[in-house]
Chains A and B, each alone.
Chain A
Amino acid sequence: MTQAAVLAQLGNTPLGMRNLIINGAMQIAQRGTQSTGITTTGFSTVDHFRTSLSSLGTWTEDQSTDAPSGFSNSFKLTCTTADASPAAGDVAYIRYMFEGFELQNLAYGTSSAKPMTLSFWVKSNKTGSASVQLLQNDNSSKNISPSYTISSADTWEYKTISIPADTAGNIDNDNGPAVSLIWWLNSGSTYSSGSTQTSWSTYSAADSNAANLGIGGSTSDYFAITGVQLEVGSVATEFERRPYGTELALCQRYYWNPNLGGGNYFWMHPISYGAGFRRFTVIFPVRMRATPTCTVGGVATNGGSFATNSPRTEAGGSTTIICVGDLASGAGGEFSYITEFKASAEL
């Protein structure tokens, strides 16, 4: 980048927190570092990046340590059961979802709307053209689906893609899903038979993955990304480093795993109006996006057992939630605790 370009960029972009992507270096993986046998959509390893599948192969997802210089991790999908001929509606892609609150500085839907630049590192065994797509969830999935090219197999390559401003698509100022960012791996004709869109266009499924890389057509196909940055302006700047703790806290707005176990428990306390009742309040480390879905497990108590659907969560919000345990027997036991707790408020 020339000095003039840098100076021009500085005039339009904050010096700090300019990367709109959370966990773009793939450092945070609260769910674990590897998940195998994946055939359906869900979050499995790296925070905030979701594997999306519909009847297209079986995959292993890794928070990989294979990364370009300057990075320690990548998000990697490896095909373990191929699908050489996907049916029309089959899909495989990686999805990142933006919350509406996070994108208000784009001024979309106004005459002051700003362009953006997406940059990322990518590595795959396959070469050729591939599609990325942005979908405006608040605007009937108005979308843009530019292509990029992977030139060399098994080699980290840096890509930059310009995203034009949209003066006609307002993004709601709320905590709901606002814009999806998608890296397509493969799909059937429903999503691949159209044309690449380089400007914001009315949604047509066929345009989504017009440049279909076809990852998953063969076993051992893989696709990895890291260093993902989306920033205001027309120039891609160097990846913004944020402290690990900051990045973790940003992720915990959407998912929190306190990593219980090994002597680290949530203790449940008896309450006065019934010896068989146990309660404790979980205080989330950051305010979550919404009241989270919670899993509670690994229950232990001395000499008693819990009733069905107990412990459970109830009477909660985005900052705290109450864990409730009803003892079915052994109500006089002195203590009980849980060794597993997870809270999800993902988009």
Chain B
Amino acid sequence: MYKLVNDSLGNNNSVLRLSDNAFIPFDPDNTDYQEYLEWLAEGNTPEPADE
């Protein structure tokens, strides 16, 4: 499970992996980000970012 995270300017450029509270950057070379994209491709949806 994942949750979107907004930065200080309100932009979404990372996601929180809820199993270990790790912040995953949107870097295509990051293998955790690749796993997140696969998870999305399976039809899953992350929790929204906090307002």
Contacts and interface: CB of A to CB of B under 8 A. Distances in A.
B42 interface: no
Interface string A175-205: 1110000000000000000000000000000
Contacts of B13: 314-315
B30 A176 contact: no
A289 interface: yes
A157 to B, nearest CB: 33
A176 B32 contact: no
Interface residues of A, number: 27
B44 to A, nearest CB: 18
B25 to A, nearest CB: 4
B20 to A, nearest CB: 6
A314 B23 CA distance: 8
Contacts of B20: 295
Interface string A13-34: 0000000000000000000000
Contacts of A265: none
Contacts of A293: 17, 22-25, 30, 32-33
Nearest to A324: B8
Contacts of B50: 307-309
Contacts of A307: 50
B14 A292 contact: no
Contacts of B31: 177, 290, 346-347
A326 B9 CA distance: 12
A179 to B, nearest CB: 15
Contacts of A312: 5, 14, 16, 23
A314 B29 contact: no
Nearest to B13: A314
Given A293-B32, A295-B22, A309-B50, A315 B7 contact: yes
Contact of B25 (A296, A309, A316, A346): A316
A249 interface: no
Interface string A111-152: 000000000000000000000000000000000000000000
Contacts of B29: 175-176, 289-291, 345
Given A295-B20, A295-B22, A314-B14, A309 B27 contact: no
Contacts of B33: 293
Interface in A281-304: 289-297
A308 B16 CA distance: 11
Contacts of A292: 25, 30
A294 B23 contact: yes
A345 B13 CA distance: 17
Contacts of A324: 7-8
A346 B22 CA distance: 14
A134 to B, nearest CB: 19
Contacts of B21: 295, 297
B9 to A, nearest CB: 9
29 contacts: A175-B29, A176-B29, A177-B31, A289-B29, A290-B30, A290-B31, A291-B27, A292-B25, A292-B30, A293-B22, A293-B24, A295-B20, A295-B22, A296-B23, A297-B21, A307-B50, A309-B3, A309-B5, A309-B16, A309-B50, A312-B23, A314-B7, A314-B8, A314-B23, A324-B7, A324-B8, A326-B8, A346-B31, A347-B31
Given A291-B27, A296-B23, 8 more contacts: A289-B29, A290-B31, A295-B23, A297-B21, A312-B16, A313-B23, A314-B5, A316-B25
Interface of B: 3, 5, 7-8, 13-14, 16-17, 20-25, 27, 29-33, 50
- Enumerate the 3 nearest inter-chain pairs by beta-carbon distance, A residue then B residue, closest first: A290-B29, A291-B27, A314-B7
